[in-house]
């Protein structure tokens, strides 16, 4: 990365975060507009059974998430030898096109396909943006760079998603996707003018990026993210309907509720980025029990008009606190395949999105009520936390064996061998 002035560094970080802002809007605005989409695109089903209509509209969330799951590793491998800054622009353009296509989709099935296609560049953009942000920030600030790249995502939940939800309620859900497309149009221009061109990384290759998939630790961390964060989405996907049916909030209060969750996510992301740079494993070990307790609090408070705001704030904070440490851990576990490692976190995160939306919708449509996704969320977080403990213990054991191997090699004089460097992944 060429030397940058402080002003250009700030503008470059803003441009990277703006793309994250757009992604946060396009990913989460569907959740706030599920009732409108269900009524417009699934009229007969929604009229016969609002619960069934809402659950079916939730498939749009899973379709977008599936696009991220497929696109993150696939695109990361394909662009391994390309310039990161060039590919950032390509991903931003693809996101622009995907949202325009979503806005003009004529029927539900077509909209599902468009949401899948819109999700394809999501993970690759964040992977590229995280690495470029880390380079802009300088050595020793990887987790802070990740947090800055993710800051647009969290700010989107404070400002973008509530605003676009209100826009969709007033002018139709299609207007929200048009507004997201405008954000990406501005992002393309901002990236073009502020982020300096970066040559392809020497030695990068598709085979090198694929090597990350050989490491058991990579799969463990992906499992932690996919299961542990699934709890958040089991609730957040249906929070709009929970607020109406359980807390009896008016439609105009929904954007404020979403903004409250977004404030929690923003604070949690900042605190998590600082904590992850200092105490990466401890952040997860503390974060998951905290998140599990919050899920129980959601179950207890979601029926109260004030309590649902308190629970939403706590849920956003606790969930985002853990995210930077997970991504930093995954980048480290991937070794030299840093781009794939950075992208795989978003693939796993959107497996969580899909799992949460599906399981939350399943218990609602099965007749257990709108409070039941909170109990699903609690179970998912507990499982994710236990997997995180296993992964941390496994990594510690591998590191101990690695040190023992090196010490044995050093104490064998006359062998002519250099110390063995065994992977702790």
Tokens of 168: 């969709």
pLDDT given at position 423 = 43
Other residues' Cβ atoms within 10 Å of the Cβ of residue 375: 17
Q: What is the pLDDT of residues 185-221, one digit of tens each?
A: 999 999 999 887 766 655 555 666 666 667 677 788 8
Inter-residue contact 344 to 72 (CB < 8 Å): yes
| CA–CA distance, 193 with 250 (Å, rounded to integer) | 43
Instruction: Please count the residues of the chain.
Output: 425
Lowest mean pLDDT, pick from 2-6, 12-16, 110-114, 323-327: 2-6
Q: What is the mean pLDDT of residues 386-407?
A: 68
Phi/psi of residue 218, each to 5°?
Answer: -60, -45
265-287 pLDDT per residue, tens:
888 888 887 887 777 677 777 88
Q: What is the pLDDT of residue 271?
A: 86
* 280 vs 172, more confident: 172
pLDDT digits (tens, 9 = 90+) for 179-190: 999 999 999 999
Which pLDDT score, from 0 to 100, does residue 403 have?
Answer: 54
- Domain ranges (residues) in the chain: 6-410
Please report, for the chain, how many H helices and E strands are present, in that order: 20, 0
Summarised one tens digit per residue, pLDDT across range 322-380 is: 887 777 777 677 666 666 766 677 778 888 888 898 899 889 888 888 999 999 999 99
Q: Specify the pLDDT at position 300.
A: 93
* Contact call for residues 284 and 275 (beta carbons, < 8 A): no
pLDDT of 425 over the 50 cut: yes
Which span out of 74-78, 324-328, 400-404 was modeled with the highest average pLDDT?
74-78
CATH value of 6-410 in 3.40.1010.20, 3.30.70.20, 3.10.20.740, 1.20.1250.20: 1.20.1250.20
pLDDT of res. 419:
45
Query: What does the alpha-carbon distance between residue 352 and residue 362 come to, in Å, rounded to a whole number?
Result: 15
pLDDT of residue 95: 96
Spatial separation of the C-alpha atoms in residues 154 and 17, rounded to whole Å:
10
Neighbours of 397 (CB within 10 A): 11
> What's the predicted TM-score (pTM) here?
0.73
C-alpha separations of 143 from 121, 123, 290, 311 in Å: 22, 17, 21, 27
Residue 315's closest CA among 377, 240, 407? 377
């Amino acid at each position: 990365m060429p030397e940058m002035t402080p002003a250009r560094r700030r503008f470059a970080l803003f441009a990277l975060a703006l793309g994250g802002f757009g992604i946060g809007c396009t990913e989460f605005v569907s959740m706030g507009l599920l009732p409108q989409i269900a009524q417009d695109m699934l009229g007969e089903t929604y009229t016969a059974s609002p619960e069934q209509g809402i659950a079916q509209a939730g498939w749009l969330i899973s379709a977008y998430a599936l696009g991220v799951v497929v696109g993150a590793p696939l695109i990361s491998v394909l662009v391994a030898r390309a310039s990161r800054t060039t590919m950032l622009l390509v991903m931003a353009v693809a996101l622009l096109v995907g949202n325009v296509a979503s806005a003009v989709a004529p029927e539900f099935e077509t909209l599902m396909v468009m949401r899948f296609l819109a999700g394809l560049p999501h993970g690759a953009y964040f992977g590229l943006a995280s690495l470029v942000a880390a380079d802009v920030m300088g050595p020793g600030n990887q987790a802070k760079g990740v947090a800055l790249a993710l800051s647009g995502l969290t700010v989107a939940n404070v400002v973008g998603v509530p605003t676009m939800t209100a826009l969709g309620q007033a002018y139709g859900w299609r207007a929200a996707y048009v507004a997201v497309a405008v954000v990406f149009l501005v992002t393309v221009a901002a990236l073009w003018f502020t982020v300096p061109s970066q040559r392809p990384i020497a030695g990068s290759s598709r085979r090198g990026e694929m090597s990350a998939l050989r490491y058991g630790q990579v799969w463990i961390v992906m499992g932690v993210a996919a299961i542990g964060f699934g709890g958040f989405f089991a609730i957040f996907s249906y929070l709009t309907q929970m607020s109406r049916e359980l807390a009896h909030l008016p439609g105009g209060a929904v954007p404020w509720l979403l903004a409250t969750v977004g404030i929690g996510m923003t604070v949690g992301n900042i605190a998590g980025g600082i904590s992850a740079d200092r105490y990466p494993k401890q952040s997860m070990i503390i974060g998951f029990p905290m998140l599990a307790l919050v899920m129980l609090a959601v179950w207890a408070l979601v029926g109260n008009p004030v309590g649902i705001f308190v629970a939403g704030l706590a849920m956003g904070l606790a969930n985002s606190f853990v995210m930077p440490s997970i991504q930093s851990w995954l980048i480290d576990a991937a070794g030299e395949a840093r781009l794939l490692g950075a992208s795989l976190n978003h693939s796993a995160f959107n497996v969580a999105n899909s799992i949460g939306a599906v399981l939350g919708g399943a218990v609602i449509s099965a007749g257990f009520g709108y409070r039941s996704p909170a109990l699903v969320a609690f179970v998912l977080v507990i499982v994710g936390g236990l997997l995180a403990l296993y992964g941390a213990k496994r990594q510690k054991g591998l590191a101990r064996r690695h040190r023992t191997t090196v010490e044995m090699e050093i104490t064998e004089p006359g062998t002519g061998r250099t110390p063995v460097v065994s992977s702790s992944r």
